[in-house]
Amino acid sequence: MVIKRIDPLSAAKIGGIIAAAIGLLAGVVFFLVSSLFGAALGQQEGGGLAMFGGAMGMVLLPILYGIFGFIGGLIQAFIYNLAAGFVGGIRIETE
């Protein structure tokens, strides 16, 4: 079996979903670290800002990762299709 072509839009959707999931994990870590700094700063000026930044990270990181994952998947599938035209694709052995 040989993969001769990958649909760029299909690959872009999968890439975007995977990257958004990774962005969600990164956002959770960012939120937890920011919350720790916010709690450590307490009533000082930067405490609330650190916690707000952590919450925004949980929202923005999955969105940004998803967008860039989509674009990256689209570009990678396009380049794969060009390369597969020259070398014939990836050969896969199945049972």
pLDDT for position 76: 94
At 36, the pLDDT band (50, 70, 90 cuts) reads: confident
Closest by CA position to 66, among listed 29, 14, 31, 30: 14
What's the average model confidence in pLDDT over 77-89? 92
pTM of the model as a whole: 0.75
Helix axes 8-41, 46-87, angle to 10 degrees: 160
Per DSSP, 44 falls in state S
Alpha helix segments (H runs only) across the chain = 8-41, 46-87
10 Å Cβ neighbour count for 44? Answer: 11
- Write the pLDDT tens digit of every residue in 1-27: 888 889 999 999 999 999 999 999 998
- The better pLDDT of the pair 47, 9 is held by 9
